[in-house]
Amino acid sequence: MADQARPVVLLLARIAIGVIFLVHGYQKFVTNGIAGTTKFFDSVGIPLAGVAAPAVATLEIVGGLALIVGAALPVVGTLLALNMIGAIVFVHGANGLAGEGGYEFVLALAAACLAIGFTGGGALALDGMLARRRSTVPATA
């Protein structure tokens, strides 16, 4: 039973975590704007805020989409986890684990990204589909 449910459960997890990143990246571009995001990044001491703001916003959008479709999962999972570690270091860490502004949510996102990134994403992930396709294509000399 668990083996049959695994692809669907991993798909649901990828969609949920991917949508969270997608929305946060969109927020950085559209709701706050890159200028507002840069100003916030600068206020919390993120180095090169003018470069970091669009880079993080882009990572969150592209990474969120990649999680949803299951593409490049080890790379995307690692990059998004590192992004969340940066959020802990620069924004949430001083607020403790739980409570207002704490880092429990971003820590959970980092762990989820690593778990999804290194499970292969399941049978319904693009990475898995491409790997199966490659293994069934006969090699030519």
What's the pLDDT tens digit per position in 81-95?
A: 999 999 999 999 999
Q: Crossing angle for the helix pair 49-69 and 73-87, nearest 10 degrees?
A: 140
Which residues are CB-neighbours of 115 under 8 A, at least 6 positions away?
13, 77
CA dist 23 and 49 (Å) reads 20
Contact indicator for 124, 10 with CB cutoff of 8 Å: yes
Neighbour tally for 45: CB within 10 Å? 10
* Residues 8, 83, 105, 61, Cα dihedral to 10°: -50
CA dist 14 and 24 (Å) reads 15
pTM over 0.75: yes
Q: Is 7 helix (H, G, I), strand (E, B) or coil?
A: helix
Tens-place pLDDT, residues 2-44 = 888 999 999 999 999 999 999 999 999 999 999 999 999 999 9
- Domain residue ranges in the chain: 2-136
Region class of 118: left (phi > 0), else alpha (psi between -120 and 50), else beta: alpha
